Amino acid sequence: MRTRALLPIVVLTGLVACSKPPAGQSTSLGNLRVELTIEPDPPRSGDNRLLVTLRDPEGRPVEGARLAFEYDMPAMGAMPEMKGGGTTESLGGGRYSIRYPLQMNGDWTLTLGIDAPGHPHTQLRLMVSPPRKGFTLESGGAETKAEGVPGLGKALELSPYRQQLLGVRFATAERRELSRSLRGFGRVDVDERQLADVTLKYEAYVESLLVAETGKPVRTGDRLLTLYSPDLLTAEEEYLSSARADPEGASRPLQTAAARRLRLWGLGPGDLERLRARGTSDGRFTLRSPASGVVLEKNVVAGSRVMPGDVLYRIGNLGRVWVQAQFYESEAPFVAVGQPAMVSVPAAPGDRIEGRVSFVAPRVDEKTRTLQARIEVANPHQLLKPGMFADVRVERSLGNLLSVPSAAVLVSGEHRYAFVQRAQGRLQPVEILAGASAGELTEVRAGLEEGDRVVIGPTFLLGSEAQLRDAMPRWSAP
């Protein structure tokens, strides 16, 4: 009899043990305490249930809450994304039940939004992976209102699994030595300071050419042509007459004036001495090169009549040349006098010739919207020929600046954004003020702090997702 009396007690105890609810997890969302339990555990392919218990800081149950629920499995390969909602039921005492189906085994993200009276809107995510037991609480917290914080958007909730699928990578905003590399295009030109024109100050006739073609190299003092001039003949006769009248009177006014006239016409002291020694004048004179270089222009032939001021030859020294380079208008602040430059030409692929910026134009060309800069280049072997096209590269140091990889900057209309990692699974779009671009790095003048971790890919996909969720402005302002 005693054994029979104990049997119902043992059976009742077993029933109580079997009806014990499965273990769950609890978390705090703002001033709200949330307890979560899944049924069945482990979850299964088919119908499942999420039990939610809400309590305030004093432990009192929270009634009248509205719950929003969504389950989601991202697209993988040829399989499309699967998502859906659930059926919510209030059980009383701050307890709520959400029934939802899962189409297959795998990793599912459950998103739960909570709007409780007297509490801010909160949201959390958990991951279930049937047929594995339990669940993982990924993230949760109160939403940040972007309207109240200038430059900040609503944070995107992306689990580490979703980030891995999207290929999200991070970099750190930090101070770096930045330099801006500018590339310009230009043309080789003669150094204007190395040009010399051969002219006459009196009327003459060319008898013979000693340098008869362009491109011929000449040195200072080389003979260029012989000429005859009636004006020169008259001036020489006046000089000889004054010298015969008073051989020792070099200071007499007439002789001094005649000698000065001839020197102004290009005759040197040696020419005057030879003229006095010869004692006769024929009005002929040999014109010599005033500089060393190459004959760039020849505007005279034998028998030509030459008037005062006519340019007979133009001689240029090509040992040092100019490269007239053009840079885009946006690069104007980074071009300055004194900068080193590297010049290359198609005629010598792979060779780079060092030069230096000697002049920057004070205005931008209104038609091409480019800025002209002059590069001085030594040309001892005359590899650079006037008229050649040239490629110019100029490097400008910007200093030690806060910067991020350029791939982290997302352009949205007139705005520039970077996605900053705020917590595990939370990416917040932050409007930044971008400065100079230095290759793969971009200066950040405002919006980020040193040490912030920013997303460097794929920012365009995240930007599209953020716009769909109204976390940042659209591409075009309304």
381 neighbors 318 (Cβ within 8 angstroms): no
DSSP per position, 49-60: EEEEEEE-TTS-
Q: What is the pTM of this model?
A: 0.55
Strand partners, 441: 405, 438
| 186/326 same-domain check | yes
Domain contains 422: no
Domain contains 378: yes
- The span from the CA of 179 to the CA of 197, in Å, is 43
| Among candidate residues 268, 287, 315, the one where a domain is terminated | 315
Q: Which of 418, 192, 410, 200 is nearest to 308 (CA)?
A: 200
Q: What is the CATH number of the domain that holds 307?
A: 2.40.50.100
Domain ranges, residue 56: 2-140
| Among candidate residues 398, 427, 456, the one where a domain is terminated | 398
Structural domains of the chain, count = 3
| 323/253 same-domain check | no
- The span from the CA of 245 to the CA of 256, in Å, is 13
Residues 6+ apart with CB under 8 A from 368: 326
345 neighbors 388 (Cβ within 8 angstroms): yes
Q: What angle do CA 76, 421, 410 make, to 5 degrees?
A: 75
Domain contains 352: yes
Q: Which of 150, 230, 224, 191 is nearest to 321 (CA)?
A: 191
Strand partners, 71: 84, 110
**324-353 b/e with 16+ CB inside 10 Å = b?**
bbbbeeebbebbeeebebebebeeeeeeeb
Domain contains 355: yes
Domain contains 154: no
Q: What string of pLDDT tens digits covers the 478 residues of the chain?
A: 444 443 343 333 333 333 344 457 888 777 788 999 999 999 999 999 999 999 998 889 999 999 999 998 887 767 788 889 999 999 999 999 999 999 998 888 899 989 888 888 888 888 898 988 888 876 554 444 444 444 555 667 777 777 777 788 889 999 999 988 899 999 999 999 999 999 999 999 999 999 999 999 999 999 999 999 999 998 888 888 887 776 665 557 777 888 888 888 888 888 888 888 888 888 889 999 999 999 999 999 999 999 999 999 999 999 999 999 999 998 888 899 999 999 999 888 888 899 999 999 999 999 999 999 999 999 988 889 999 999 999 988 888 999 999 888 888 777 888 888 876 667 888 889 988 888 789 999 988 999 999 988 776 666 665 655 555 554 443 3
Determine how β-strand 32-39 pairs with β-strand 46-55. antiparallel
